[in-house]
Amino acid sequence: MAIKSSTGLRTAMLDTADFVSAIPNRVLLLYTGAIPATADAAQTGAPICIISDNSTGDPLLFEEAAGGAMVKDSSQVWSGLVAGGGGTVTHWRMVSGTDTGALSTTEPRIQGTAGTDGGNDLIMSSAVLTGGATHTIDSGTVSQGTF
């Protein structure tokens, strides 16, 4: 699956904002279950894990873009506490910290699949997360495709 951008993100990037400013206070939400058809669609269910800077709720940062890509800021620890009894992560969304998860064509967000093989947008060493444990993401890259 290819990463999907919401209408709100695409509009902001074409109109007035870059990716970093278009999604302020970025967090990464990891989900189990059915994957919404688009990034505009309402999210189904609650996130199993909310990834932020060192599990504090502070926004995720990226290094300065180079070669058409941005990588995770090396000074940050991207982590979050796994909710409830845990589960198997199937997809993710990167959203603003104020995103409601509701159907929206104005919320800036991206979403993609998650799993253990290269066919996923987020490749995990294990997609099965244990409730109450801290999950950490060691590396991450966002790239811009060609037009």
Listed by start position, the domains of the chain span: 4-138
DSSP state letter for 36: P
pLDDT in the model for residue 1: 57
Residues in a beta bridge with 66: 69
What distance in Å separates the CA atoms of residue 147 and residue 144, rounded to the nearest whole number? 9
CA distances from residue 30 to 11, 54, 84 in whole angstroms, order as listed: 24, 16, 13
- CA torsion through residues 117, 48, 21, 78, sign: negative
CA distances from residue 104 to 99, 100, 112 in whole angstroms, order as listed: 10, 9, 17
What distance in Å separates the CA atoms of residue 9 and residue 11, rounded to the nearest whole number? 5
Residues 6+ apart with CB under 8 A from 30: 47, 48, 49, 50, 51, 80, 89, 91, 92, 114, 129, 135
pLDDT in the model for residue 16: 85
Task: Render each residue's pLDDT in the chain as its tens digit; 147 residues.
Answer: 588 999 999 999 998 888 889 999 999 999 999 999 999 999 988 899 999 999 999 999 999 988 888 999 999 999 999 999 999 999 999 999 999 999 999 999 999 999 999 889 999 999 999 999 999 999 888 886 644
pLDDT in the model for residue 146: 46
Residues 47/89, Cβ–Cβ less than 8 Å: no
The count of other CB atoms within 10 Å of the CB of residue 9 is 24
Residues 6+ apart with CB under 8 A from 20: 62, 70
